[in-house]
């Protein structure tokens, strides 16, 4: 067997950490064994590091095209790779929204050659969407039942049901911002508790119920789930679920300011703790950062005028790895939610150290915990709500067999490719 590289060390293979030698050829894993012969390069990661599959973030907003002052694909993907994220799925609410073949192809053209990680771009679900033509171009579709950044709201069942039916007929999964817009208030806000009052938990529950009434058992992913009750509804309907760290770590009483304004909102401490407990119990399918950067100046406006959203692609998985380091959650849960589950849900050949999968790896020294400093992060927005929290960043990141980060420093090139061509 001709091998370009053999990567050696403690690796997460078949659900456990074990010594493995991983044979790589032309960007793919071609052999996994205790002892492999050959290899032009033999790289020993040593006994102090662990080799994990590269992470996937199935929910980012890199603001490209249309809002480059907040983020573009180059800066957003650079932030991603420093977290060990080797593939991202970008949401369609850019300017213009990626809602038809023309806008999706224009977005792809703009991104090509500028990403540090592999990527896919979602298409928006809109009335009369031509899902059949869009499906080969995208890993999934995004439905916005609640208003947020961008103007692609679709919450009327007379238009929603036929559009979603067309999307699901393609076999592609549909991610949903599940907040029933008709149940939202429009009163002036001065803090996150006011924002919560305008976007109650009942709006999440009703949106999921409506989807369940029409599409139970179908390929639907509920994004940024915020409540244990919403989780129960989604699970009962057979939907996959996605959770953010900010909904599990922040609450309206301790985090009242604009930095924590996000859609859907952070909630009270009891709701937050119940959601974290469900996460730690393994009840949620996958992580998604919902990386939604805005400039420092935008977030510094009066609360009511400040945009909702916060960055997280560079901090989500490193914080999770610190939870693993402190034995709060098992490594197997972090790997399942951060690599395997999103890759499986969206049909991407990543997320496992197994023959036939892309040779994407995030290598961690679990002794290397540090505090998050926004000045050291790579997002253009320049701020983080997770400032000061403990995190374990990867020492080495490899994408399709090529080292992109070593010693926590970028050493590769913008070689990310579109997973849908």
Question: Which CATH number is 284's domain given?
Answer: 3.20.20.140
Tell me if residue 89 falls in helix, strand or coil: strand
State how far the Cα of 139 lies from the Cα of 344, in Å rounded to an integer.
11
The total number of structural domains in the chain stands at 2
The answer to whether residue 371 is domain-embedded is yes
Query: Are β-strands 5-13 and 16-25 bridged in parallel, bridged antiparallel, or unpaired?
Result: antiparallel
Q: What's the CA dihedral at 376, 382, 383, 389 to 10 degrees?
A: -10
Residues 103 and 154 in one domain: yes
Domain end call among 302, 318, 345:
345
Residue 118 banded pLDDT, cuts 50, 70, 90: very high
Q: Which domain holds residue 227?
A: 55-345
Percent of the chain having pLDDT more than 70?
99
* pLDDT tens, position by position, 357-378: 999 999 999 998 999 999 999 9
**What is residue 39's predicted lDDT score, i.e. its pLDDT?**
82
Pick the closest to residue 415 from 138, 119, 139 (CA basis).
Answer: 119
* pLDDT tens, position by position, 304-350: 999 999 999 999 999 999 999 999 999 999 999 999 999 999 999 99
On the question of pLDDT at 259 being above 80, the answer is yes
Interval 399-412 mean pLDDT: 96
Residues 110 and 172 in one domain: yes
Chain length of the chain: 421
Domain end call among 317, 345, 373:
345
On the question of pLDDT at 205 being above 90, the answer is yes
Residues 174 and 285 in one domain: yes
* pLDDT tens, position by position, 148-172: 766 799 999 999 999 999 999 999 9
Give the up-direction half-sphere exposure of residue 158: CA atoms within 13 A in the CB hemisphere.
Answer: 0
**What is residue 177's predicted lDDT score, i.e. its pLDDT?**
98
**What is residue 151's predicted lDDT score, i.e. its pLDDT?**
72
The answer to whether residue 416 is domain-embedded is no
Query: Given strand 240-243, what is the order of strands in its sheet?
Result: 123-124, 140-144, 173-177, 220-222, 240-243, 286-287
Residues 402 and 339 in one domain: no
Residues 341 and 367 in one domain: no
State how far the Cα of 299 lies from the Cα of 302, in Å rounded to an integer.
8
Interval 389-415 mean pLDDT: 97
Residues 227 and 196 in one domain: yes
Average pLDDT across the chain, whole number: 97
Tell me if residue 201 falls in helix, strand or coil: helix
Asked whether the CA dihedral 212, 214, 218, 221 is positive or negative, the reply is negative
Interval 240-257 mean pLDDT: 98
Q: Which of the residues 57, 219, 290, 360 is marked catalytic? A: 290
Residues 108 and 221 in one domain: yes
Q: Is 253 a catalytic residue?
A: no
Do residues 47 and 89 touch, judged by C-beta distance below 8 A? Answer: no
The answer to whether residue 415 is domain-embedded is no
The answer to whether residue 108 is domain-embedded is yes
**H-helix segments, 21-156:** 73-81, 101-111, 131-134
* pLDDT tens, position by position, 131-154: 999 999 999 999 999 987 667 999
**What is residue 149's predicted lDDT score, i.e. its pLDDT?**
65
**φ/ψ (deg, to 5) at 347:** 65, 40
Element (H, E) at 161: helix 157-168
**What is residue 307's predicted lDDT score, i.e. its pLDDT?**
96
Residues 392 and 320 in one domain: no
Residues 27 and 166 in one domain: no
The answer to whether residue 417 is domain-embedded is no
**What is residue 76's predicted lDDT score, i.e. its pLDDT?**
98
Interval 107-129 mean pLDDT: 97
* pLDDT tens, position by position, 21-58: 999 999 999 999 999 998 889 999 999 999 999 999 99
Residues 82 and 164 in one domain: yes
Domain end call among 345, 380, 395:
345
The answer to whether residue 421 is domain-embedded is no
**H-helix segments, 241-351:** 245-249, 269-280, 296-299, 316-325, 331-335, 341-345
**What is residue 361's predicted lDDT score, i.e. its pLDDT?**
98
Q: At what angle do helices 228-236 and 201-215 cross, to 10 degrees?
A: 0
| Nearest-5° Cα angle at 299, 92 to 246 | 65
Question: Which CATH number is 373's domain given?
Answer: 2.30.40.10
Residue 1 banded pLDDT, cuts 50, 70, 90: low
The answer to whether residue 419 is domain-embedded is no
The answer to whether residue 222 is domain-embedded is yes
Do residues 58 and 286 touch, judged by C-beta distance below 8 A? Answer: yes
Residues 304 and 406 in one domain: no
Q: Is the pTM of this model over 0.95?
A: yes
Residues 279 and 386 in one domain: no
Tell me if residue 315 falls in helix, strand or coil: coil
């Amino acid at each position: 067997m001709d091998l370009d590289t053999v990567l050696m060390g403690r690796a997460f293979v078949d659900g456990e950490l074990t010594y493995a030698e991983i044979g790589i050829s032309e960007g793919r894993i071609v052999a996994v064994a205790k002892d492999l012969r050959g290899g032009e390069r033999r790289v020993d990661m040593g006994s102090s590091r662990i080799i994990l599959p590269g992470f996937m973030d199935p929910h980012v907003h890199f603001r490209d095209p249309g809002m480059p002052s907040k983020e573009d694909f180059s800066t957003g993907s650079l932030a991603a790779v420093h977290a060990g994220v080797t593939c991202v799925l970008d949401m369609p609410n850019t300017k213009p929204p990626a809602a038809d073949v023309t806008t999706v192809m224009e977005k792809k053209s703009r991104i090509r050659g500028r990403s540090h990680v592999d990527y896919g771009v979602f298409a928006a679900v809109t009335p009369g969407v031509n899902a059949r033509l869009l499906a080969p171009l995208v890993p999934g579709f995004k439905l916005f039942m609640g208003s947020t950044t961008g103007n692609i709201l679709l919450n009327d069942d007379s238009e929603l049901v036929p559009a979603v039916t067309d999307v699901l007929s393609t076999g592609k999964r549909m991610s949903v911002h599940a907040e029933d817009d008709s149940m939202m208030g429009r009163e002036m806000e001065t803090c996150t508790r006011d924002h919560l009052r305008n976007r109650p938990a009942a709006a999440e529950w009703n949106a999921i119920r409506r989807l369940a009434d029409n599409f139970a058992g179908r390929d639907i992913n509920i994004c940024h789930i915020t409540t244990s009750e919403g989780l129960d509804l989604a699970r009962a309907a057979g939907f996959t679920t996605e959770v953010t760290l900010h909904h599990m770590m922040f609450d309206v009483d301790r985090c009242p300011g604009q930095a924590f304004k996000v859609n859907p909102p952070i909630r009270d401490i009891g709701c937050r703790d119940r959601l974290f407990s469900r996460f730690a119990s393994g009840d949620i399918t996958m992580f998604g950062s919902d990386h939604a950067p805005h400039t420092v100046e935008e977030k510094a406006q009066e609360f009511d005028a400040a945009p909702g959203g916060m960055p997280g692609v560079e901090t989500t998985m490193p914080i999770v790895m610190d939870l693993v380091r402190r034995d709060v959650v098992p490594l197997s849960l972090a790997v399942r939610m951060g690599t395997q589950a999103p890759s499986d849900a969206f049909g991407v050949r990543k997320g496992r150290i197994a023959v036939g999968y892309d040779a994407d790896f995030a290598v961690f020294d679990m002794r290397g915990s540090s505090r998050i400093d926004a000045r050291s992060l790579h997002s253009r927005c320049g701020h983080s709500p997770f400032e000061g929290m403990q995190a374990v960043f990867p020492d080495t990141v490899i994408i399709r067999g090529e080292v992109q980060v070593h010693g926590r420093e970028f050493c590769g090139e913008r070689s990310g490719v579109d997973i849908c061509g």
